[in-house]
């Protein structure tokens, strides 16, 4: 199932990048909303874990609209980032080996008895305690 999803996401990302590159090549003016949506979907294809909190993604659309030679850059907006364990805003960020973000004290408490599965639904990665 996840292999199919990865293939779909890869194909989607390639199509969106092709669209942006074609628009750049033809020097066609790109609608800001279209560019924003393309960049958000490219970032989600690159990092599917962000599907659980897509509102945390912000993009620099002006890079596409104003600069045809520059790659789009993705900017994470961590202002409203919530911990998956505490469901509270994150004060001290801890990023796991699978890319999910937690409140540092909560994830350390969760893992104090050794390696555990990532608590994010749909993520089957094992979190490992640093030696």
The CATH number assigned to the domain holding 101 equals 3.30.40.10
Same domain, 14 and 51: yes
% of the chain residues with pLDDT over 70 = 71
Q: For position 106, what pLDDT does the model report?
A: 92
Judge whether residue 92 has pLDDT over 70: yes
Cα separation, 18 vs 5, whole angstroms: 20
**Structural domain that includes position 11:** 2-76
pTM (predicted TM-score): 0.41
Q: For position 7, what pLDDT does the model report?
A: 81
44-76: pLDDT as tens digits: 777 777 666 666 666 666 655 554 433 434 445
* Boundary-marking domain end, from 56, 76, 96: 76
Q: How many domains does the chain have?
A: 2
Number of other CB atoms surrounding residue 45 within 10 Å: 21
Cα separation, 115 vs 92, whole angstroms: 21
Same domain, 6 and 46: yes
Same domain, 93 and 125: yes
């Amino acid at each position: 199932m996840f292999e199919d999803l990865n293939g779909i996401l890869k194909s989607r990302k390639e199509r969106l990048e092709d669209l942006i590159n074609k628009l750049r090549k033809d020097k066609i003016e790109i609608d800001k909303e279209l560019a924003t949506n393309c960049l958000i979907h490219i970032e989600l294809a690159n990092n599917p874990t962000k599907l659980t909190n897509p509102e945390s993604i912000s993009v620099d659309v002006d890079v596409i609209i104003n600069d045809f030679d520059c790659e789009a850059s993705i900017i994470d907006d961590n202002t409203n980032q919530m911990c998956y364990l505490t469901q509270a805003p994150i004060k001290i960020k801890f990023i796991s080996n699978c890319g999910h973000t937690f409140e540092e004290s909560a994830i350390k408490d969760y893992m104090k008895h050794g390696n555990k599965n990532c608590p994010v639904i749909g993520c089957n990665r094992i979190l490992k305690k640093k030696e």
